[in-house]
Structure 1
């Protein structure tokens, strides 16, 4: 069992006052707090497509995103598992598509609970957790053939007045070990990419995919955007990466048992080359800051489990 640095703490249920509401239509689960904060999660990919607080949408979703379960959803928070990027040759995941099958499989909605919410909320009236599950039974025959391990995933999305927490528990249900990577491919909505900087990068080495996957040392603590960015920052020693707009804090990404972060913006040329990226100038209104475990592989022994996640906080 891999120990987590930030274990969820128990909630003290509250039975007085307005309570959160949850609605599921078989394709999407929507939860709202009495404060008006809300989250929407598609069962396809268990992809969070909306997270609002104080009337503001925090996530970017392509206007051409496919929400019918035909392909990975462009935007929101897709779940990457069990491989990040194109699967490497001569590896157990080599027959899987880019970013694996987690984001292109139909997950089960397991229900709502207030038994824990990590660092979120103080009672059931101001936080709510939605649980989703994925096992080989949910996979297509093609995916089961490509990756024939026995596993179970439980994905928890907790909405509170303090932010949004996403946690993934991976369990090896079989009799042989398997390797995996995982990542939350979070698309954040921002007003203008030219006014954005990402901070919390001091002393971190990164792999630059634009420069032939070469490694570099961060120069300073921040990153500004003047063109395509596709970097894997690895082995953070601190847990928070922040998005600032006009030098004012806008969003925080707090890693829990995830040491890596991918930062991505396709810029003009990249957006035009992606069929479902709309509008084409949408790159000016989004930035991906993606907590993950993608530098190398996690090996999970038989009957062992791994849990990790992120907490997203908005300063609006």
Structure 2
């Protein structure tokens, strides 16, 4: 590790002795990435406020995935066949990639870490494909959090493979009943609570009064999550990820999850940048890239409904 890089990140021990990487920007923002799962568990602004939700009951005990933060769903989202639910990337140990291939990078982003996941014999038995999954987690000078995934087919047998993918991001909110998600209005979605039946979003924004589990299709590159109580807006920018999943388990499902507090559903919302409806297919040697950028915009100057287009233009 170079002396300059060590100013911006360090490797240390986290819960249960698991290795984690701390990223720090000189202006005060920070992020925390566990090598277990390549999992971002913390993102704080320059005031030290936590922006991601992490359950107080998250176990940090492999092979169970960590509840909260940003789990990575690969090579599948949801549950199909003999693969783990949401794939295996989120409950495998990643390595720090000291020699990544050329990566178009913003030179102002000095707080970053490159991770890599390759299949073990165990993975090859349940998903018989050779791949290299490279993940860069970076903090921008303004405190933005950026995740870039690059997945390459390294099969030597000439066979392509297909996968689905999601950044399963848990955002911390003050009160789910005071949250609006804007940018998804008029779009079609599949409702997972109604056997993936297809509907069209009718409201001018998505609000929460009960359990929600929807996959929106052909979504815009920018989505806004407005937390009225904190006068804060999260802005998601995504590339290579056409779908967006919105999830809150509400009270009954929260109580049924051992690693989730009974009332914690009130303080989180998942808005996930994803590629699910149309699986990505890679031939040997081909690479896919999916990028997510998260930023915060103060909405204290607004009253009433916040126009996300204005926020997105200003940010």
- The bucket for the TM-score relative to the shorter chain is 0.7 to 0.9
| Correspondence list, 1:135-146, <5 A | 135-136=118-119, 139=120, 141-146=121-126
1:102 counterpart (89, 110, 117):
89
The superposition leaves residues 226-254 of structure 1 with CA deviations (integer Å, 9 ceiling, x where unpaired) of: 00000000112x21111102285420111
Cα contact 1:72–1:104 (8 A) shared by 2: yes
Residue 72 (structure 1) aligns with: 65
1:131 counterpart (104, 107, 114):
114
Residue 287 (structure 2) aligns with: 305
Residue 147 (structure 1) aligns with: 127
Residue 159 (str. 1) matches residue 139 (str. 2):
yes
Cα contact 2:189–2:201 (8 A) shared by 1: yes
How many residue pairs get aligned? The number is 284
Residue 22 (str. 1) matches residue 10 (str. 2):
yes
Q: How many angstroms apart in 2 are the aligned matches of 1:159 and 1:235?
A: 27
Cα contact 1:19–1:33 (8 A) shared by 2: no
Q: Which runs of 4+ in 1 moved over 4 A?
A: 111-118
Q: So what's the TM-score if we normalise by structure 1? A: 0.85
Q: So what's the TM-score if we normalise by structure 2? A: 0.85
Q: CA RMSD in A?
A: 2.1
Q: CA deviation at 1:53?
A: 0.6
Secondary structure in structure 2 of the residue aligned to 1:270 = helix
Q: How many angstroms apart in 2 are the aligned matches of 1:281 and 1:111?
A: 41
Residue 52 (structure 1) aligns with: 44
Secondary structure in structure 2 of the residue aligned to 1:225 = coil
The superposition leaves residues 100-151 of structure 1 with CA deviations (integer Å, 9 ceiling, x where unpaired) of: 1110111011249996545xxx625xx4221110011xx3x44320001011
Residue 301 (structure 2) aligns with: none
| Correspondence list, 1:178-257, <5 A | 178-236=161-219, 238-246=220-228, 248-257=231-240
Residue 283 (str. 1) matches residue 268 (str. 2):
no
Q: How many angstroms apart in 2 are the aligned matches of 1:297 and 1:312?
A: 24
| Correspondence list, 1:29-48, <5 A | 29-48=21-40
Cα contact 2:173–2:269 (8 A) shared by 1: yes
Cα contact 1:84–1:100 (8 A) shared by 2: yes
Cα contact 1:156–1:167 (8 A) shared by 2: yes
Q: How many angstroms apart in 2 are the aligned matches of 1:309 and 1:193?
A: 26
Q: How many angstroms apart in 2 are the aligned matches of 1:221 and 1:106?
A: 42
Q: CA deviation at 1:36?
A: 1.6
Q: How many angstroms apart in 2 are the aligned matches of 1:254 and 1:151?
A: 26
| Greater relative contact order (Cα < 8 A, sep 6+) | 1
Q: How many angstroms apart in 2 are the aligned matches of 1:115 and 1:183?
A: 21
